[in-house]
A = this chain, B = another copy of it.
Amino acid sequence: MSIRSQRLESLRWTVGVDVPAVAGMGVDEICTPALVVDLTAFEANVRAMKGFAAAHGMALRAHAKTHKSADIALIQMVEGGARGVCCQKVSEAEALVAGGVRDVLVSNQVVDARRVDRLAALAQRARVAVCVDDADAIGPLSAAAARHRVMLEVLVEIDVGNGRCGVAPGAPAVELARRVANAPALRFVGLQAYQGAAQHIYGHDARRAAIAASVALVRETVAAITETGMRCPVVSGGGTGTWPFEAESGVYTELQCGSYIFMDADYRRVREADGRGLPAFAHSLFVLTSVMSRARPGHAVCDAGLKVLSVDSGLPTVFDRDDVTYAVASDEHGTLVDAEDRLRLNDRLWLVPGHCDPTCNLHDWYVAVRDGVVEALWPVTARGKAW
């Protein structure tokens, strides 16, 4: 057992922390299955998005729902051009603020009384904004903010074709903005206008058309709001699949991309079906797995299944190998087709998850590697923070 493996075991016995790796280890020593970030690719993605946003004059509010990591959020803010982050849950925002992040938009509705109270309390420690799509949400938010002696910034969420949350664009949004602006402890700052359903449309023109439709709705709504004399300084939206279209729109001011730091198998398919236009990001996120059985000819079984990989957007792909395919995910196993029977017990494979966000939420640690050596461990700070 290497010195670093001993150090890992000693961490378990002395402080009760069972980590998959320690700094300085070679990647061959990482305990599998593990969530691994290739720092070279990750940093290139962070830099690329910083450059793209700056080139388009767009603010970047990186979506921390992707990674749920205070370490990564701070890298995005300090080195990646992000003015702050967004996330989807109050408990997630609390974990990020506790980790040092000082500017968080909860890009979601917060209507439960206890959650509303905790959100307002959090605004004592960081710049906090939240979305509203229902007039009934306004009174409790304003009352909680007053109780905690803070002003909460509010974006009115409009449905620009996503079909999930969001008030209808135009007059209903204007009316809601007016009510927010009139609430004593709330400040209306603009629109949340994220078209999530468009992110994964295959085909450049179809994706562009979906966002063109969103942009028209946003433009109409911003005009209607400003006609009433209110200001609407922020229009926030855009994801890794569509942000160039929002950036060119002239009405969006802020991008909410999240997956760009990691990429995943589904975004890879979106990009490959695009043909043109979608900037390239590199795969930086992997589930490192080991072969545990090869009893069946033409097949092997690895130690990464549904409990370390989310398959909602398809199975993982095997990175950098054409001879092996991940064919079936069961709870704790991945069944691989290995037609030429090349795999041996304990061989390692680098899997690209089908969908990065819910995959990261399954893990406690990111193992950050560079050039085959572990450089850092980052906790998944807000893992399981679904409240």
Interface residues of A (CB under 8 A from B): 1, 5, 18, 20, 31-33, 65, 88-89, 91, 108-115, 133-134, 136-137, 159, 163-168, 196, 290, 292-296, 299, 301, 303-304, 306-308, 310-312, 328-333, 335, 345-346, 355, 357-358, 361-364, 383-384, 386-387
Contacts and interface: CB of A to CB of B under 8 A. Distances in A.
A299 B166 CA distance: 12
Contacts of A358: 306-307, 331
Q: How many copies of this chain sit in the oligomeric assembly? A: 2
7 closest A-B pairs by beta carbon, nearest first, are A165-B293, A88-B332, A133-B295, A306-B358, A109-B292, A167-B295, A308-B386
12 contacts: A31-B112, A31-B114, A31-B387, A88-B331, A112-B346, A134-B294, A134-B345, A164-B293, A304-B386, A311-B312, A363-B384, A383-B384
Given A167-B295, A196-B330, A384 B364 contact: yes
Contacts of A361: 307, 362
A304 B308 CA distance: 19
B65 A165 contact: no
A33 B386 contact: yes
A131 to B, nearest CB: 9
Contacts of A328: 164
Nearest to A18: B91
Contacts of A304: 386
B33 A137 contact: no
A357 B293 CA distance: 22
Given A33-B386, A306-B358, A293 B65 contact: no
B133 A293 contact: yes
